[in-house]
Amino acid sequence: MANMDLLSSDLGLLQLGVTSFLAQAANYFVFVGVIFLLVWKLLAKTLAGRRIPTRFDFGLPQVTREVLNTLLTLLLGTVSAVAIVALYRAGLTKLSNGADWAWWQSALALVALLVFNDTWFYWWHRLLHHPKLFKHVHAVHHRSVDVNPFTSYSFHAAEGFILGAWAIPMALLVPMSMQVLMAAQVVGLLNNIVSHLGYELLPRWWLRVPLLNWSSSASYHSLHHSQFNGNYGLLFRFWDRLMGTELKDYERVFRAEQGVEATRAVDPAGREVPRPL
Ligand SMILES: [Zn+2]
Ligand SMILES: [Zn+2]
């Protein structure tokens, strides 16, 4: 991830890349580790009704594989960040320090960046599900059928690069402040971790609130991992709804994972049905 320190640094690009990668990896694993300990260990009993049902038990081998894949993803993310710094130094980007931006301009720009990020992700994600590409690239991520926070950045190297590269065309083409670009990357990271949390922590009323119900959720992305053929969006639902790729079970599964219906899934007529996962 690029930030103002990266842009104002006078280090050589290689040195900048190495220090940035080490800092990112340390921050990422401390953050994800704390989330994992908190949700999966300390609060596991309290949140038991919100646990997304699993199909397979997983343990250290899966998490070890995910950590190694994550290191590659972070490395490739650093390549994108260093590429942005190189382009900035060459005077080719439209990045600024945002000093003359009003808060509402920054907020609008942040929403626009998130929509672009989601669009970038949705279409790459659909492409990577093409049978000819899936087994070579995206299958690495889908080896984790039951997800946990360490799955968030567990990708093949090529996908790790794609995931971080969305910021390059933005930096080249769209006038924006570095702070907004950073904020979009932080929101993207948090959303990725929430999507792979393995617990549905959003309240039941979430789906009844316009705008909020456009967002994805842990249930949304977990369904993608268990069923493969839908729910391709990561931040929002609108591309899936527009393209007819949203899994039809989603809203019922979401409600079931709030604890109230966790042990009793029912169809619209009130008949008990088997859990889909
Ligand atoms: Zn996928
Ligand atoms: Zn995933």
* pLDDT, tens digit (0-9, with 9 covering 90-100), for 9-20: 788 889 989 999
Nearest Cα to Cα of residue 78 among 117, 23, 119, 29:
23
Query: Considering every ligand atom, which ligand is closest to the CA of 69?
Result: 2
CA 226 to centroid of ligand 2, rounded, Å? 10
Question: Does a structural domain hold residue 99?
Answer: yes
User: Does the pLDDT at position 269 exceed 90?
Assistant: no
Could you tell me which residues are beta bridge partners of residue 236? 215
* pLDDT, tens digit (0-9, with 9 covering 90-100), for 113-126: 999 999 999 999 99
Domain that holds residue 52: 4-205
Q: How, if at all, do strands 176-177 and 95-96 pair?
A: parallel
State the Cα–Cα distance between residues 36 and 149, nearest whole angstrom. Answer: 6
User: How many independent structural domains does the chain possess?
Assistant: 1
User: Does the pLDDT at position 167 exceed 50?
Assistant: yes
User: Does the pLDDT at position 210 exceed 80?
Assistant: yes
Question: Does a structural domain hold residue 114?
Answer: yes
Query: For residue 62, what pLDDT band results from cuts at 50, 70 and 90?
Result: very high
> 10 Å Cβ neighbour count for 84?
26
CA 221 to centroid of ligand 2, rounded, Å? 6
CA 113 to centroid of ligand 2, rounded, Å? 21
Question: Does a structural domain hold residue 215?
Answer: no
CA 89 to centroid of ligand 1, rounded, Å? 36
Question: Does a structural domain hold residue 247?
Answer: no
CA 271 to centroid of ligand 2, rounded, Å? 31
Question: Does a structural domain hold residue 221?
Answer: no
Question: Does a structural domain hold residue 253?
Answer: no
CA 9 to centroid of ligand 2, rounded, Å? 34
Looking at residue 97, its pLDDT comes to 78
Rounded average pLDDT over 199-207: 92
Question: Does a structural domain hold residue 123?
Answer: yes
Nearest Cα to Cα of residue 62 among 182, 153, 167, 143:
143
Question: Does a structural domain hold residue 213?
Answer: no
CA 134 to centroid of ligand 1, rounded, Å? 9
Specify the residue for token string 């994972």.
257
